[in-house]
A and B are shown apart, each in its own frame.
Chain A
Amino acid sequence: MRPGAINTMRFLFSLLVVFLLQSCCPVNKNLFVLMPDPDGTTGIITVTNQGGTQVIDKPGQVTTVTDIKTPPAPPVPIDEKEISRIFGAAILAQPPQPVTFILNFKTGTADLTEDSAKKIPDIVAAISQRNSSDISVVGHSDTVGSKQRNYQISLNRALRMRDILVSLGVDRQAIATESHGEDNPLINTGDEVEEVRNRRVEVTVR
């Protein structure tokens, strides 16, 4: 055999070894996996380094990255067993997903609409379920009236909501209140527009 051929074979063999090592042992790799979101949808991630960018837009796909100069590898599927083997501990440690309740108010007041008042037991249940001491109550208004007045109305709504929760046994210290006034509408409207969906508090239980 010609020496050139031997060298070529050696080269091919080493390629094969590298390939086998990579395919059998993802243990020694940096991995970036895209997962479906808790709400069932899936977003997109970009994995970028000095070598380039890789986009992943399908859940359950992984890109491996050797080092900061080597471009991230094209995404490939990763099976659930592998995911739980590598990421099981991190997944188990995930906190419960925060939940947000939106309650609406009668115009110009801190009085809950009747339908919204009915949501209160669900909020209290979510708090006790999570044993949460991490609750935010943010008040909002529609655009009727001055900015200043709407800030005050929104604040009153948040404080009212907090007091209701406190009256039900929730620790006052666990609740952070804020007012966003008319600046953070759920539905975009012009100025001086009555919109019940914007007259709201958002209660987030983390």
Chain B
Amino acid sequence: MEKKTGIINCVIFLSLAFCFAAPAVVTASDTDQAKKLMAEKPLPLPLPATLPAEAKAVEESEVAMVKTFSGKVAITRLEKVITVKKDEKIYVGDTLQTGGDGTIGITFKDNSTLSLGHNSTVIIQSFLFSPAYGKLSMVNRLVKGTAAFISGVIAKLSPQSVHFETPVATVGFRGTTILVRIEDETK
């Protein structure tokens, strides 16, 4: 009886020790240790396949993220103004506006980047990035002000699918960087 309890205690102790020791090893942030860890302690396979749904949801929702901003900036979504912060998600249909001292820079899921100078307005009109299914499209419309745009993967895979629209002309691409200024017609 005593012996049995001893064994059980031992098992409990060992499993507890393992529980505490394992995370301690895993959270070590030293990259060298990680390399060593990877060589010595491969992760069990197959890993739980819970992610496709999650990944898909991400792909269908936001199309870009705010990376930089300064001064007065506003994002208008479904007629509501959203407070801008770093990593704020951008969706199709959003309008980005900067004031006299404002700037904003966003990075799209296809690695395109778009930034606005002062007193500028841009509308994210369309964005489809699903190379595996051949669904590719990107349309941004600069209503007024200044913008810098660096095209990304969509322009590489399907240049005809990328348009940068303005009230006076539309820009088509072969993978490139542009600057655009549009005068405010209402002035």
Residues of A at the B interface (CB closer than 8 Å) are: 28-38, 42-49, 65-68, 72, 83, 86-98, 100, 109-112, 117-118, 120-121, 124, 131, 133-134, 136, 152, 155-156, 158-160, 163-164, 167-169, 176-180, 183-184, 204, 206
Q: Is there an interface contact between B107 and A134, defined as CB atoms closer than 8 Å? A: yes
CA distance A92 to B35 in the complex (A): 37
Q: How many residues of B contact A (CB 8 A)?
A: 70
- 12 additional A-B pairs beyond A66-B168, A93-B69, beta carbons within 8 Å, are A28-B183, A29-B181, A32-B180, A48-B171, A83-B179, A90-B116, A94-B113, A110-B47, A156-B46, A159-B47, A167-B26, A176-B54
Within 8 Å CB of B155, what residues of A? Answer: 43
Q: How many A-B residue pairs have CB under 8 A?
A: 211
Q: Is there an interface contact between B45 and A87, defined as CB atoms closer than 8 Å? A: no
Q: Shortest CB–CB separation between residue A179 and chain B, in angstroms?
A: 7
22 A–B contacts from the bound complex (CB under 8 Å): A30-B169, A33-B178, A33-B180, A42-B177, A45-B176, A68-B167, A89-B117, A89-B118, A89-B146, A90-B103, A93-B116, A94-B115, A95-B68, A98-B152, A110-B47, A121-B35, A131-B86, A152-B46, A159-B48, A164-B34, A164-B43, A183-B132
Q: Is there an interface contact between B181 and A31, defined as CB atoms closer than 8 Å? A: yes
Within 8 Å CB of A38, what residues of B? Answer: 150, 177
Q: Which of B44-96 contact A (CB under 8 A)?
A: 45-49, 51-52, 54-55, 58-59, 65, 67-70, 86-87
